[in-house]
Structure 1
Amino acid sequence: MDPQKDALQRIIATLANKNEELQNFIETLNHTLGQVQVNSTQVVSDLEEEFDTLYSILDEMKESMTNNIKQETVRKSHELQNQLTQSTNALESAEELLEFANNALHITDEGEFTKAAKQIKDRVTMAPAFRLTMKPKATDNMTYLMVDFSQERQLLQGLKFLPVPRAPEIVLGDCLVIDNEVTVTWRMPVEDSKIDHYILEYRKTNHEGLPRVKDEQCWEVVDNIKTTEYTLQGLRFDNKFMNFRVRACNKAAAGDYSDPVTLETRAFNFGFDSTSSHLNLKVEDRSVEWDPQGGKGVDSKVKGKENKGSSAHFTNLKNMSRSGTPSPKRTSVTRSPAPRGARDRFTGESYTVLGDTSIESGQHYWEVKPQKDCKSYSLGLAYRNLGKFDQLGKTNTTWCIHVNNWLQNSFAAKHNNKAKNLDIPVPDSIGVYCDFDRGQLSFYNAENKQLLHTFKVKFTQPVVPAFMVWCGGLTLSTGLQIPSAVRSFQKTENGLGGSNSSISQQDASVACDICFYDKLPSVDSSLMP
């Protein structure tokens, strides 16, 4: 290609780009010019509205004060008029008495004179002229009802347009993260009485330090905050940190954002691991539900291989109730640990699913809520090498509490096939607390944080949350901080053992009080994987 032609084409492309930029800029200027006119009209309208409001307030105050003056005038006039009437009547009475007395001086009869003198004395004693006060009940002074607007006049003369508010300052030391709530506190660098409200923005992040301009999360907005503190409630801490920033607003404009701060909100997050689930369980990220049809699509040869080794088991699988619910007869299951590297899927009567995240250290908390009609469920911890036929609480590598609402109600703590009855009501939701380093697993009533049971365990390998459910479902809540009530309770209980810590690895020789899995029903072979 000709170099001159190539250069000319580049010049043409540059000019075309510049031409497009200028056209876009002209469109922007025209749009901005139009908006200036629109916004100017709006600002004038708002200004007139503010002054009209001020005039209206002054008119209302003037009318109110004028009414006060009129009422005071009526009151004073009424009181003075009453005094004038009383004084006039008293004067007439006094003049009549004076005339009577002058006439009495000319009486010559001593008896008549004495009688007249006594009458005059009695009438003088009762005369209203001597009982009336000679001080007016009201003055003619009305100046105390006047007002002085000199200071207000100076304020009005100094009236200016509202400035853009300054950026608030978040007080990091007063911010609080507890019980999945975050309280953010801020202050204004200079006192500003014209602030109307504040806007708080926050977002979750996994990056420590200053917020990134382009983060994976968008800012969430809380508007119209009237105080310099706000608490976000009911949060799920599924990220390690949260960014916060706040801005002040008056009636004119919103100010700049405060310097953003980052607060740590670390919590234990996990879901159900569907690859570790029994085929009769329908698993989603944070819910698991019994599904009696879940295993019907599995090839019968595969089912035969997985259940090989127990003829008694197959006999009992045929016992079904008329309603289609598995019968309650106990079955004998051959337990064989899954070989290393195999998929951790449970089978037989081990209606189990594990969590997808291991615990190797630290303190963690999560909550589980069963469906109201759930027949049987367990929750606790297990080592990952749990065999396919193993049931929670029936091995020395699982710890759980179990609820049975089928045929015979029971609530028990279970480990290594040893159980302890929990003589307390079954809560609607159960909190699980694990302190891996101290070797402690505790269960709480999630509503009132009452301790249900504590296991003392020396963990020798990482553990995972473990769950069993039959005829019902469970809902999992994670991303939770350790509740302050639980944390306080643990501080007082650590090292004491506790009356509820009755089943541990050292108690393997204790006789089983309740083998609650004996209450689980047999299952038809068509429902088995």
Structure 2
Amino acid sequence: MGDQKETLRKISTTLALKNEEIQNFICCLKQGLENLESNSSRVQEDLESEFSSLYAVLDEQKESMVTSIKRERASRIYELQSQLTACTKALESSEELLELANQALCSSETDGFNQAAKEIKDSVTMAPAFRLSLKAKVSDNMSHMMVDFNQERRTLQALKFLPVPGTPQILVSECRVCDNTVTVMWELPEYDDKIEHYTLEYRRTNHEGPPRAREDHPWMVVEDIRQTEHTLTGLRFETQYITFRVKACNKAVAGEFSEPVNLETHAFNFKLDAASAHQNLRVEDQSVEWDSSGGKVQDIRKDKNRTNSPMHSPARTTMSPKKLPTARGGRDRFTAESYTVLADTAIDAGQQYWEVWFDRESKALAVGVALRSMGRFDQLGKTAASWCLHLNNWLQQSFTAKHNNKARTLDCPVPDRIGVFCAYEEGVLSFYNARTKQLLHTFRTKFPQPVVPAFMVWNGSFTVQMGLQVPTMVQSGQKRNSATSSSSASLG
């Protein structure tokens, strides 16, 4: 019966997964129907808009050409009418002279004839009829303003939908994930000189498989990419993967998105455990600020919920991996002069990196790691359960590496950002200037238990930057300096 239950359990699990896949696919289909409706309406509106624009251009061109014809006609009419008026007047003058000449020829008086003939001769010499050009100044032919629309008609008849660009393919083997940047590379199935740019979309996810219809993170869009690769910078790797997809765009239309691919974005993520924090520390998300009035406020409700059972004390448990109980309140929170707060995630394997940005005017500040079992009165670096860099600005400044109540002064400028590198199996804890990646100090030890990031601040503040990969420069530096004088065996 046990085997049958196990078989049925596997069947149930398989069915549940298949049901989830079908539900996701149904959501995709429904979304596809909605997109189809909106996209078809959009392209139809775009087409009508383009034709309206074309009509407007034709109307404008027509109006311009009609105006040109009217102007040409008016100009020629003016020239011909002017010439016609001049010829009419010349003809009238010529007819008058002809009448005088006929009258003179019919006259019988010799003296009168000679005088009339002389006057007519002089008038004819000056007559407009003999100065006129009997050729029209302008032609009545308007054929030069005819338009041949055959080519345009053929162009319009050949009008068709713009070819859709091919679907790009992301080259997973060429993509790079390092130093909190991601470089994505892709190619088209065949060369297309009509492509003007690409659009890249990405979103964070914790799912390795195909994208799900419902994701916690929205798609982020990067437009107008002119090359077949793009590098995203300034990222925080808060999830296990980032999903990418890309599409090609020509002048008027975009192609289909590529098949989404997931690139693994391993990084160390944690939160500050506010329940472990000293009452004078105000914890907000990834920031901590000293609050001098915090210790004066007594939380009566916490007193009522206290228990003497060690089973309720997360300080006595070390869950593996990573997330630890956060209820370190009451008797287990740090107190007295241990102005400390721990992270909620343990390091029990691998190489991890995080950074701390702090106010250098803080009176005291410490950054490092500690065992979860570190006592509530213990101060960072003063017990065997913690390792840290300690900055003291009280009276005079000191910058030291501390462990087990032993200190080593660091001969280097105090940075405003400290990077912390922990290689658990190798027993390496290194501190860096987070801006320059200069090595400040390295502890070499063997951690007896999983450790958690630990912080202390007095009269100051700091902010933790998590979701960071181990920088390439740090990895290279660790290889080069694995056996150099920067190690501190006496403090490890």
TM-score by length of 2: 0.64
Amino acid at match of 1:272: L
Measure, in 1, the Cα distance between the counterparts of 2:476 and 2:36: 63
2:199 is the alignment partner of 1:211: no
Task: State the Cα distance separating 1:277 from its structure 2 match.
Answer: 0.4
Say if 1:361 and 1:436, in contact at 8 Å, map to a contact too: yes
Amino acid in the other structure paired with 2:369: L
Give the aligned partner of residue 337 of structure 2. 349
Counterpart of 1:265 in structure 2 is 265
Match of 1:409 among 397, 405, 409: 397
Identify if the C-alpha distance between structure 1 residues 299 and 485 changes in structure 2 by more than 3 Å, giving closer, same or farther. Answer: closer
Does the Cα contact within 8 Å between 2:243 and 2:262 map onto a contact in 1? yes
SS in structure 1 at match of 2:51: helix
* 1:152-179 C-alpha deviation (Å, 9 max, x unpaired): xx99999864201110111111111011
Deviation at 1:362, TM superposition (A): 0.6
2:303 equivalent to 1:297: no
Q: 1:50 to 1:185 in 2, by over 3 A?
A: farther
Q: What is the CA-CA distance between 1:46 and the residue it aligns to?
A: 5.7
Counterpart in 2 of 1:371? 359
Instruction: Flag the structure with more relative contact order, 1 or 2, with Cα contacts below 8 A and sequence separation at least 6.
Output: 1
Structure 1 segment 23-62 matched on structure 2, within 5 A = 38-45=45-52
| Residue identity in the other structure for 2:168 | P
Question: Residue 259 of structure 1: CA displacement?
Answer: 1.2
User: Would you say 1:274 and 2:260 are equivalent positions?
Assistant: no
Alignment of 1:229 onto 2:229: yes
Question: What is the total number of aligned residue pairs between the two structures?
Answer: 342
Query: 5+ residue gaps in structure 1?
Result: 1-27, 53-153, 304-336, 507-529
Give the counterpart of 1:458 among 440, 446, 460.
446
Q: Is the 8 A contact 1:338 1:387 kept in 2?
A: no
The match for 1:189 is 189
Cα deviation code 1:407-463 (max 9, x no counterpart):
110000000110000010001100000000100000000001000000001011110
Deviation at 1:290, TM superposition (A): 0.4
The correspondence of residues 167-182 of structure 1 with structure 2, limited to 5 A, is 167-182=167-182
SS class of match (2:294): coil
Deviations 1:350-409, CA, capped at 9 Å, x for gaps: 000001111111100000011242121001010011111100000011100001112110
What's the secondary structure of 2:234's corresponding residue? coil
2:488 counterpart of 1:502? yes
Distance 1:155 1:39 in 2: 20
User: Residues 291 and 36 (structure 1 numbering): CA distance in 2 closer, same or farther, change over 3 Å?
Assistant: closer
Choose 216-225 or 230-239, whichever is displaced more.
216-225
* Residues 289 and 461 in structure 2, CA contact (< 8 A), matched pair in contact too: yes
Measured in 2, the distance between the counterparts of 1:221 and 1:30 equals 23
Could you tell me which amino acid in structure 1 is paired with residue 280 of structure 2? N
Distance 1:268 1:31 in 2: 42
Query: Is the CA contact 1:369–1:429 (under 8 Å) kept in the aligned structure 2?
Result: yes
Query: What SS is found at the alignment partner of 1:295?
Result: helix
Q: 1:259 to 1:35 in 2, by over 3 A?
A: closer
Note closer, same or farther for the CA distance 1:297–1:37 as it changes in structure 2 (3 Å cut).
closer
Q: Aligned partner of 2:211: which letter? A: P
TM-score of the pair, normalised by structure 1: 0.60
Contact 1:280 1:290 in 2 (8 A): yes
- 1:171 and 1:183 mapped to 2: Cα distance? 11
Q: Secondary structure of the equivalent of 1:272?
A: coil
User: Conserved in 2, the CA contact under 8 Å of 1:289 and 1:474?
Assistant: yes
Q: 2:196–2:250: 8 Å Cα contact kept in structure 1?
A: yes
What is aligned with 2:162? Answer: 162
Query: For residues 229-258 of structure 1, what are the alpha-carbon distances to aligned partners after superposition, in whole Å with 9 as ceiling and x for unaligned?
Result: 111110000000011000011122110011
Q: What corresponds to 1:470 in structure 2?
A: 458
Distance change in 2, residues 1:361/1:215 (3 Å): same
Alignment CA distance shift 1:394-1:164 (3 Å)? same
Distance 2:40 2:432 in 1: 65
8 A contact 2:370–2:451 mirrored in 1: yes
Runs (5+) with no aligned partner, structure 2: 1-34, 60-153, 304-312, 318-327
* Aligned-CA RMSD value: 3.2
Give the percent of matched residue pairs that are identical in Structure 1 and Structure 2: 56
Report the residue type matching 1:363 in the other structure: Q
Q: Where do residues 64-213 of structure 1 align in structure 2 (5 Å cutoff)?
A: 161-213=161-213
CA distance in 1, matches of 2:382, 2:194: 68
Q: Separation in 2 of the partners of 1:348 and 1:382?
A: 18
How far apart in 1 are the matches of 2:221 and 2:439? Answer: 38
Is contact 2:338–2:379 with CA below 8 Å preserved after alignment? yes
Following superposition, the deviation at residue 42 of structure 1 comes to: 1.2
Could you tell me whether the CA contact under 8 Å between 2:316 and 2:372 is conserved in 1? no
The DSSP-based 3-state class of the residue aligned with 1:243 is: strand
Distance 1:46 1:503, change over 3 A: farther
